Amino acid sequence: MDSDFGAARELSDLQKLRSQYHPQLPPCLQGTTVRVEFGDATTAPDLADAHTISRFFPHTYGQPLAHFLRATAKVPNAQVITEHPAVRVGVVFCGRQSPGGHNVIWGLLDALKVHIPKSTLLGFLGGSEGLSAQKTLEITDDILATYKNQGGYDLLGRTKDQIRTTEQVTAALNACTDLKLDALVIIGGVTSNTDAAQLAETFAERKCPTKVVGIPVTLNGDLKNQFVESNVGFDTICKVNSQLISNVCTDALSAEKYYYFIRLMGRKASHVALECTLQSHPNMVILAEEVAASKLTLFDITKQICDAVQARAEQDKYHGVILLPEGLIESIPEVYALLQEIHRLLRKRVSADNISAQLSPWSSALFEFLPPFIKKQLLLHPESDDSAQLSQIETEKLLAHLVEAEMNKRLKEGTYKGKKFNAICHFFGYQARGSLPSKFDCDYAYVLGHISYHIIAAGLNGYMATVNNLKNHVNKWRCGAAPITAMLTVKRYGHGNGALTIGKPALHPATVDLKGRAYELLGQNATKFLMDDLYRNPGPLQFDGPGADAKAVTLCVEDQDYMGRIKKLQEYLDKVRSIVKPGCSQDVLKAALSAMSSVTDILSVMSSPMSANTPSKSVFPVLAATPHF
Amino acid sequence: MDSDFGAARELSDLQKLRSQYHPQLPPCLQGTTVRVEFGDATTAPDLADAHTISRFFPHTYGQPLAHFLRATAKVPNAQVITEHPAVRVGVVFCGRQSPGGHNVIWGLLDALKVHIPKSTLLGFLGGSEGLSAQKTLEITDDILATYKNQGGYDLLGRTKDQIRTTEQVTAALNACTDLKLDALVIIGGVTSNTDAAQLAETFAERKCPTKVVGIPVTLNGDLKNQFVESNVGFDTICKVNSQLISNVCTDALSAEKYYYFIRLMGRKASHVALECTLQSHPNMVILAEEVAASKLTLFDITKQICDAVQARAEQDKYHGVILLPEGLIESIPEVYALLQEIHRLLRKRVSADNISAQLSPWSSALFEFLPPFIKKQLLLHPESDDSAQLSQIETEKLLAHLVEAEMNKRLKEGTYKGKKFNAICHFFGYQARGSLPSKFDCDYAYVLGHISYHIIAAGLNGYMATVNNLKNHVNKWRCGAAPITAMLTVKRYGHGNGALTIGKPALHPATVDLKGRAYELLGQNATKFLMDDLYRNPGPLQFDGPGADAKAVTLCVEDQDYMGRIKKLQEYLDKVRSIVKPGCSQDVLKAALSAMSSVTDILSVMSSPMSANTPSKSVFPVLAATPHF
């Protein structure tokens, strides 16, 4: 099979056209000279975690931000990297495929060719397995020819495993050493970038000269924080899913007799479901974050849907479309508790057949109440990140089943007088994941690939490539790099008796911010969407003309330019320093002292690590483990 | 709800662009003058059925073909319809929605506006229900504005029922009389067009002046015969499904650990599955027609898939994509027999719980062998056309289940030494049905709408609008009309003891022609598709640039121009007549007589109704009830 990797293949006419497309570079990356400006040393997003993180990552914690600027930028401290010795770089796809991944490799190769033509780029075959086994393919422009702007990870294949155990980490280190790699670029989501941070730390500790770089590529869109606005693949996934959801909405409105329950792939967080809702305006979406925040039970959710069905029936509407994120099931308190019990028993090697008898009375009652198909799915072994196998649990069927039962009950009792409730269930995930990437994802991935080269050239280790200002045109994108350690958080689990377990620092999936603008936008429209069938059809993914340059709604409504604002703050501080130079008037100094004392007081209070003393974080890590940025 | 029909709605940018697109008319329909040429009287496709059909359809059987020609066409007998009194026309969506349906109405309205501006076009709301209840919406250009080139049937809604019972037919007749309709245009597939033929006959018999016109619109692509090359919606459905199948193929190749089993909507026949296979090149497709022709059992099919999985494992390939038409389940002999028994018991009002006990020993053994989820689905009440509820029976899960069990068995026995088999199942149907229609479907539907006007202007009753030469550019399309009675066939059911039941004449779904070129093309490539992963990704549906004008592979490879060849034959006959005029030489007459005698002898033998004497047709009506044209 390996011999097939990187093989040229026949492309369809549309694929050929797409392979001819060349993404634009933002001005800061154009030409052969790029400046690097280093910002202040970074800290952890939650100060309470800082000590733990610095203990786990002594070599890579606290490194400064890096900004890449055009050669002509007038920034006093920015360095121009002038030495470009030939480098050997390895690149590996980790975790689930996400549209656009191939373009990261293309961007990296192009940057290498521009700056150091003699360099070598090695792709690892089959992800982490290939890394351990040192199976590589040298990436050339010829090999990339039929993979540019194309979907999937089939150029190299992807990992089926993490890089986490001592054996795996050692194998990775040996591979980098044996292959004399100057850098290893890891393309993946939260789990893979946590691995990247760990590898970087281990390499630094063991004096392995290979620098590790992470690239945020995940269709879930949940690798989001101050530094990272969006992930490669999310845009495409949401567009393809929205196309299908819109088609189903049109279908519902034409047939007028079905409720469609659609579950969307996207792991624990509900970013995909929220974005698709804002693109296609289905009647209803139930976000995992809302359910967890309001502690809604399975029965609350069922009732909520039934009430909606009933309200629509009163307007003689017997159709509808309801979106459910795949993470929903874990966000329901009693189901989460049940899953935790099941997973604990599975880890104790209790066989699936015997689990039911060993559950707590409360969980056992819930478990016995559930229909057989879902019981079987809940009994599946958890994923490597300890979450349930979300893609295998048919929450849409469970809810359709419960809603049908409740509507039949209401019908019998005479509290509902409409027509019989009919549901059709769908799971949209795999059919979007292999799509041709959207223009946005092609551009974003290609630019990230370029940035990864500049991170390597600057000799940085344990950094993630970042682009800010994504909602604007490419020529306004700001490119940089942030230490992955500055994105890590620590989970604390209360055990009820005051005892506290502190987890290992990791990147945790960012959940939908219930105070954010995107969620607010949903709130403003929810009733209209529910009752008025304002279905919107963005149509199939286009590469030219209307819609081709559309960006995610959730990206555009949020004001995310954190990196820009950090720079702005630096400018203010510099300005104060330049105004209040020794020799300035007493009055100016006095004013400055007074104002600055007040600013520092306020900020000290705001950023004191109060939360470190109590396990204030929810017991549902789905939700609260990751702070909302 | 009714008040929402025809409401203007907000369109996305892409939808707006599409709503501006104006389909081209073929030359014969351009301008204000169109000639009609009548061909010879038609017969039935199977002469053995002719008598039965003429008995059921005394008023509408044997009518001539009609060809629409440009005003300047040099055809001696062609008439120009010069009188265009104002007409009142009704139009109704029957059966399942299919992309492009709205454009039939638009084409009809445009033709009415060009030829008789004072005419009235009434759309029935909610399909046959609206027809019975005389709920109408007057169609105007304003109302159509946001529905042009858009998917779904939401302008008017669609029927949930047939027009078949005496009450339904009488209600339709009353509606046409009360509303003073000159014509009723029925948009639908095989069932609805059978209803159209019946309505036309009844109207003629009862001297109702309303003419009935049928339009072939069905995503299944199974309303195919000498006169009808393709159906509106089939092109779009296959393109959208092929996009998704290709995405799944890319996914399979990237993850390298799953077999995807994809069931495709399309009713009994496998046209959609065959077309999607030729567009996207998955590893395997199992056509219902092949299974029925070879009388493959469930175990044969399972073995066939397992052998393929094993052969691929030997090449270290543990992924693959397998397509299954939804009609597959009914084509498996023993499952079909089981379904027939179940349906017979259901009709006797045996409750689902008691059916198992009353099955024949053979069917009972099969039934008990099946997993619970599929048992439940097989026990569903049959559809109005007596077939099983194909969209509800998860054949893909059944086969994945059986293949997994067999692979585990082989693994245990040591005959298979590869990795564990993993399957993911999909059903693609509803998410394609509401799509924006492809350019082809927009054009085809619009032209059919125009033709329906010319059928009405020519005063024809019980005709279907036809376009031939579809694989060529619109300016080579040939427009005509054929009596629906000329497309009807009669099913004969043998009862084993020589007794024979003769069914009512009907349009039956055309099955995939196992002697046709499209199937031959599949045969030539099947092994390569299976082993070499020649996945082809046509990409998402485009409206401009590469792929936008692509037509169905099955349409392009078949040489279908039956109407053209019928015309060619007429030309030969006319030429013979003009050469062998009274006064010609003895030699010429002798040669003509000799040649013509030989021709007529051969044709008499070839078209003798031998099949009328024996129930030579298979007991599986899925397959053999409809002759392959």
Residue B466's DSSP bridge partners are: B480
B541 and A CB contact within 8 Å: yes
Q: Is residue A566 very low, low, confident or very high in pLDDT (cuts 50, 70, 90)?
A: confident
Confidence tier at B364 by pLDDT (50, 70, 90): very high
Instruction: Please give the Cα distance from A495 to A86 (Å, whole number).
Output: 53
Residue A1 and residue B436: Cβ atoms within 8 Å? no
CB contact under 8 A, B12 and A539: yes
Chain A's closest residue to B11, CA to CA, is A536
Q: Report yes or no: A434 at the B interface, CB cutoff 8 Å.
A: yes
**Residue B364 — left, alpha, or beta (φ > 0 → left; ψ -120 to 50 → alpha)?**
alpha
What integer is the mean pLDDT of A391-403? 95
Which residues of chain B make contact with A424, given a CB cutoff of 8 A? 430
Taking the Cβ of residue A158 and every Cβ of chain B, the question of whether any pair is shorter than 8 Å is answered with: yes
Chain A residue with minimum CA distance to B319: A1
The predicted pLDDT at position B386 comes to: 78
Q: What is the pLDDT of residue A610?
A: 52
- Give the least confident one: A459-473, B333-347, B569-583: B569-583
Tell me the per-residue pLDDT of A567-610, one tens digit each, with 9 for 90 and over: 788 888 888 888 888 888 888 888 888 888 888 888 888 777 55
The CA distance from A199 to A164, in Å, is: 9
Cβ-based contacts of A542 with chain B (< 8 Å) = 14, 540, 542-543
Higher-confidence position of B4 and B464: B464
Residue A383: pLDDT band with limits 50, 70, 90: confident
- Cβ(A563)–Cβ(A65) below 8 Å: yes
CA distance A158 to chain B (A): 6
**DSSP-assigned states of every residue in B469-537:** -TTS-GGG-EEEEEEGGGG-B--EEE-SSS-EEE---B--PPPP-TTSHHHHHHHHHHHHHHHH-----
Q: Provide the pLDDT confidence category of residue B628 given band limits of 50, 70 and 90.
A: very low
Q: What is the pLDDT of residues B248-260, one digit of tens each?
A: 999 999 988 899 9
pLDDT(B490) > 70: yes
CA distances, A67 to each of A34, A78, A456, A555, B280 (Å): 10, 9, 13, 21, 44
Residues 6+ apart with CB under 8 A from A525: A281, A534
- Res. B84: pLDDT tops 80: no
- pLDDT tens-digit series, residues B156-183: 998 777 888 999 999 999 999 999 999 9
Q: What percent of chain B has pLDDT over 70?
A: 95
How far is it, in rounded angstroms, from Cα A587 to Cα A9? 74
Mark yes or no for CB contact A246/B16 under 8 Å: no
With CA atoms as reference, the chain B residue closest to A156 would be B254
Q: How far apart are CA B182 and CA B446, in angstroms?
A: 21
* pLDDT recorded at residue B234: 98
Residue in A18, A152, A538 nearest the CB of B251: A152
Q: What is the pLDDT of residue B331?
A: 95
- Residue B58: what pLDDT? 97
| Lowest-pLDDT range of A167-171, A451-455, B609-613 | B609-613
* Amino acid (1-letter code) at residue A216: P
Chain A residue numbers touching B251 (CB-CB < 8 A)? 97, 152, 430-431, 433-434
> How long a stretch of residues is chain A?
629
Q: How many CA atoms lie within 13 A of A240 on its CB side?
A: 33
- Cross-chain CB nearest to A254 (options B4, B157, B544): B157
Contact indicator for B390, B326 with CB cutoff of 8 Å: yes
Mean pLDDT of B241-267: 94
Mutate to test the interface with A, among B2, B9, B19, B154 (most CBs of A within 10 A): B154
Q: Which chain B residues have a beta carbon less than 8 Å from that of A375?
A: none
Residue A541 has pLDDT above 50, yes or no: yes
User: Is B20's pLDDT higher than 60?
Assistant: yes
Q: Which two tokens stand for residue A241?
A: 């899913």
pLDDT above 50: residue B134 = yes
Interface confidence, given as ipTM, is: 0.86
Res. B617 pLDDT band, cuts 50 70 90 = very low
pLDDT at A621 over 50: no
Any B CB within 8 A of A1 CB:
yes
Chain B CB contacts of A158 under 8 Å are 254-255
Note the pLDDT of residue B610.
Answer: 52
Average pLDDT over residues B540-545: 94
d(CA A182, CA A118): 14
Q: Do A248 and B126 touch (CB under 8 A)?
A: no
- Establish if A542 touches chain B: CB-CB under 8 angstroms: yes
Please indicate whether residue A575 or residue A5 has the higher confidence score (pLDDT): A575
Tell which phi-psi region holds residue B157, choosing left (phi > 0), alpha (psi between -120 and 50) or beta.
left
Residues of B with CB below 8 A from A372's CB?
372
Count CB pairs under 8 A between chains A and B.
205
- pLDDT attached to residue A1: 43
Q: According to the model, what pLDDT value does residue A609 have?
A: 58
Mean pLDDT rounded to a whole number for chain A? 90
- B537 part of contact set with chain A, CB < 8 Å: yes
What is the distance in angstroms between the Cα of B245 and the nearest Cα belonging to chain A?
Answer: 7
Contact check, Cβ <8 Å, B540/A537 = no
The pLDDT value recorded for residue A438 is: 98
| Distance to chain B for A362, nearest Cα, Å | 28
CA distance B451 to chain A (A): 25
CA-CA-CA-CA torsion sign (B434, B435, B438, B443): positive
Chain A residues touching B255 at Cβ < 8 A: 96-97, 153, 158, 160
Please give the model's pTM, rounded to 2 decimal places. Answer: 0.89
What would the pLDDT profile of B563-592 be if each residue is shown by its tens digit?
Answer: 777 778 888 888 888 888 888 888 888 888
Mean pLDDT of chain B: 90
User: Is B12 at the interface with chain A, CB within 8 A?
Assistant: yes
- Give the integer Cα–Cα distance in Å for B184 and B175: 10
A536 contacts B1? CB cut-off 8 A: no
Q: Is A160 on the interface with B (CB under 8 A)?
A: yes
Comparing B4 with A303, the larger pLDDT belongs to A303
Residues in Cβ contact with B321 at an 8 Å cutoff, skipping those fewer than 6 apart: B245, B248, B249, B252, B259, B260, B262, B282, B283, B284, B535
pLDDT band at residue B615 using 50, 70 and 90 as cut-offs: very low
Q: Could you tell me if A550 lies within 8 Å of chain B, comparing CB atoms?
A: yes
State whether B154 and A436 contact (CB < 8 Å). Answer: no
Reported confidence tier of residue B629, pLDDT bands at 50, 70, 90: very low
B259 contact A CB<8A:
no
Say if A540 is an interface residue toward chain B (CB within 8 Å).
yes
Helix residue ranges, H only, A70-226? 101-115, 128-133, 141-144, 166-178, 190-205
Chain segment B324-333, per-residue pLDDT in tens: 999 999 999 9
Contact B434 A248 (CB under 8 A): yes
Mean pLDDT of A28-45: 88
**Contact at CB, B14 and A547, closer than 8 angstroms:** yes
In the chain, the amino acid numbered A15 is Q
Tell me how close the Cα of B330 comes to any Cα of chain A, in angstroms: 22
Q: What local confidence, expressed as pLDDT, does residue B495 receive?
A: 66
Does B467 score more than 60 pLDDT? yes
Is A480's Cβ below 8 Å from some Cβ in B? no
Q: Which H or E run includes B255?
A: helix B234-255
A135 inside 8 A of chain B by CB: no
Query: Cα distance from A316 to chain B (closest Cα, Å)?
Result: 5
> Rounded to an integer, what distance in angstroms lies between the CA atom of residue B375 and that of residue B378?
5
pLDDT tens track for A257-312: 899 999 999 999 999 999 999 999 999 999 999 999 999 999 999 999 999 999 99
- Contact check, Cβ <8 Å, B254/A158: yes
B157 touches chain A (CB under 8 A): yes
Enumerate residues 551 to 610 of chain A having a beta carbon within 8 A of any beta carbon in chain B: none
Q: Do A540 and B240 touch (CB under 8 A)?
A: yes
What percent of chain A stands above pLDDT 90? 73
pLDDT greater than 70 at residue B3: no
Cβ–Cβ contact A17 with B under 8 A = yes
pLDDT for res B457 = 94
* pLDDT of the residue at B56: 96
Instruction: For strands B259-264 and B423-428, give the pairing.
Output: parallel
**Would you state the pLDDT for residue A384?**
73
**Chain B positions in Cβ-Cβ contact with residue A96 (cut-off 8 Å):** 255
Residue B569 confidence (pLDDT): 86
- Pick from B531, B537, B543, B553 the residue to mutate for testing the A interface (most A CBs within 10 Å): B537
Closest approach of chain B CAs to the CA of A27, in angstroms?
A: 29
The tokens describing A381, both together, are 């072994």
Residue A459 has pLDDT above 70, yes or no: yes
